[in-house]
């Protein structure tokens, strides 16, 4: 371990310089810094954010065991064959980093260990400061600035936060393994709503075609593969909040991660989406992602300020008054924000 520099900005600058020129150890260190929400991590994002925005961020989600890791590995091979550099962030919300659930990642890491254009990172959710979504967003910024063409964020679609992580991508793949019955796991988890592409995985299994047809019927009429994005039809907004684009019916594709069958058409579809984003990079999805990041920083800053040593007594007195049902929580929040504004004005006036 290098001893921590007393100057986080200087240390972040050194790591960022090294990471963008291909130093994978520096990149790994930066990711640790953003994961632990350290001062170095924040400084690194400040340096790197303006260099990012070129990667196609692809979220991959689906129930545990639906074949995500196997498919991501097959996508990795196909993307590499096409000359794309790829970073994979495997988010495991349930298990600590040493857990067996990340075995698939270790297999991948071994296979691509010698390839400098592949970078694989597992993130366990437990104990992360700033929330998993915030951590994933900042990790993506760092990897994007480091020059990866594609960043795959693989996450288990079991809870709302994982769904949000996947949906924060430019393109979201939702996996559904063929079932014998009419049960569609992705519906139960609320995943279909965030899908840009629905992938029936394990295409070698009986019932894959049937599952695909079931999904197509549920999702609505098939559109030609080269139909423009619904978002493309909108006038380009340059100010104001993002428009909710009319929901485009997701494509349904069948893949067999185990053999690679169907993966080339999937990557073709990803490349078409990438080309559209390159034409107009400030997509409404990206504006939403930026808004989420900014709001979370604002609320975290306000909260940290109110809980700071100088204000802690006043803040906790109000919180206790809420617990005692002497005042309501909205009144407490209003009072805290009002005193904060007053202090800020006093500070400004000197």
Ligand X SMILES: Nc1nc2c(ncn2[C@@H]2O[C@H](COP(=O)(O)OP(=O)(O)O)[C@@H](O)[C@H]2O)c(=O)[nH]1
What is each CA distance from 252 to 75, 212, 215, 318, in whole angstroms?
A: 16, 6, 7, 52
| Residue 296: how many other CB atoms lie within 10 Å | 15
Residue 66 sits in the site that holds ligand X (CB under 6 A): yes
> Considering only residues 13, 39, 80, 104, which one is a binding residue for Mg ion as defined by CB under 5 A?
104
CB 200 within 8 A of CB 211: yes
Decide: residue 100, CB within 10 A, 0-12 exposed, 13-18 middle, 19+ buried. exposed
- Tell me, by CB under 6 A, how many residues bind ligand X: 16
Which is nearer to ligand X, 255 or 269 (by Cβ)? Answer: 255
Stretches 61-69, 130-138, 190-198, 266-274: which one binds ligand X (CB under 6 A)? 61-69
79 to 118: interface string for ligand X, x by CB under 6 A: -------------------------x--------------
Are 171 and 59 within 8 A, CB to CB?
yes
Per CB under 5 A, which of residues 250..309 are in contact with Mg ion? none
Minimum distance from CB of 203 to ligand X (Å)?
Answer: 6
| Site pattern 256..295 for ligand X (x: CB under 6 A) | xxx-------------------------------------
Q: How many other CB atoms sit within 10 Å of the CB of residue 329?
A: 12
Q: Which residue lies nearer to ligand X by CB, 9 or 101?
A: 101
**Residue 70: which of Mg ion, ligand X, none does it interact with, CB under 5 to 8 A by kind?**
ligand X
* All residues at 6 or more sequence positions from 212 whose CB lies less than 8 Å from its CB, including other chains: 200, 252, 253, 254
Minimum separation from the CB atom of position 180 to ligand X (A) = 14
Helix (H) or strand (E) holding 11: helix 8-20
Give me the residue label for tokens 């206790």. Answer: 320
To ligand X, the closest distance from the beta carbon of 167 in angstroms equals: 17
Could you give phi then psi for residue 148, rounded to 5 degrees?
-70, 135
Binding partner selected for residue 14 from Mg ion, ligand X, none, CB under the kind-specific 5 to 8 Å limit: none
Q: Which of residues 58-97 bind Mg ion (CB under 5 A)?
A: 68-69
Q: Are 296 and 302 in contact (CB under 8 A)?
A: no
Q: First CA to last CA across the chain, in angstroms?
A: 43
CB of 62 vs ligand X, minimal distance in Å: 6
Each residue 127-156 as x (binds ligand X by CB under 6 A) or -, in order, gives: ------------------------------
Q: Which does 64 bind (CB under 5 to 8 A by kind): ligand X, Mg ion, none?
A: ligand X
How far apart are the C-alpha atoms of 107 and 94, rounded to whole Å?
20
Give CA–CA dist 291/236, Å, rounded: 17
User: How far is 45 from 13, CA to CA, in rounded Å?
Assistant: 10
Cβ 188 to ligand X, closest distance in Å?
15
Among ligand X, Mg ion, none, what binds residue 257 when CB lies within 5 to 8 Å by partner kind?
Answer: ligand X
250 binds, among ligand X, Mg ion, none (CB under 5 to 8 A by kind): none
CA distance 248 to 258: 29
Residues of this chain that bind ligand X (CB under 6 A): 62, 64-70, 104, 201-202, 204-205, 256-258
Residues of this chain that bind Mg ion (CB under 5 A): 68-69, 104
């Amino acid at each position: 371990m290098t001893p921590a520099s007393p100057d986080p900005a200087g240390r972040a600058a050194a790591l960022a310089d090294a990471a963008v020129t291909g130093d994978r150890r520096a990149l790994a260190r930066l990711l640790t810094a953003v994961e632990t929400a350290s001062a170095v991590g924040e400084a690194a994002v400040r340096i790197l954010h303006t260099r990012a925005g070129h990667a196609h961020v692809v979220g991959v989600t689906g129930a545990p065991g639906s074949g995500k890791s196997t498919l991501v590995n097959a996508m990795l091979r196909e993307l590499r064959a096409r000359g794309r550099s790829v970073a994979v962030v495997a988010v495991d919300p349930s298990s600590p980093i040493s857990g067996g659930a990340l075995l698939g990642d270790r297999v991948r890491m071994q296979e691509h260990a010698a390839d400098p254009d592949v970078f694989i990172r597992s993130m366990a959710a437990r104990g992360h400061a700033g929330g998993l979504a915030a951590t994933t967003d900042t990790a993506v910024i760092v990897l994007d600035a480091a020059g990866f063409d594609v960043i795959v964020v693989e996450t288990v679609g079991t809870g709302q936060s994982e769904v949000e992580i996947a949906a924060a991508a430019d393109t979201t793949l939702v996996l559904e393994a063929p079932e014998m019955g009419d049960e569609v796991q992705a519906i139960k988890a609320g995943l279909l709503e965030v899908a840009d592409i629905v992938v029936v995985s394990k295409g070698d299994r009986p019932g894959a075609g049937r599952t695909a047809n079931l999904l197509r019927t549920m999702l609505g009429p098939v559109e030609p593969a080269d139909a423009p994005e619904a978002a493309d039809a909108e006038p380009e907004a340059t100010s104001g909040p993002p428009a909710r684009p009319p929901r485009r019916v997701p494509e349904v594709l069948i893949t067999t991660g185990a053999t690679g069958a169907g993966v080339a058409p999937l990557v073709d579809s990803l490349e078409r989406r990438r080309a559209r984003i390159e034409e107009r990079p400030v997509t409404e999805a990206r504006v939403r992602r930026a808004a989420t990041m900014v709001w979370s920083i604002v609320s975290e800053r306000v909260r940290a300020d109110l809980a700071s040593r100088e204000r802690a007594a006043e803040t906790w007195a109000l919180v206790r008054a809420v617990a005692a049902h002497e005042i309501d929580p909205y009144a407490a929040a209003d009072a805290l924000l009002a005193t904060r504004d007053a202090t800020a004005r006093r500070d400004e006036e000197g």
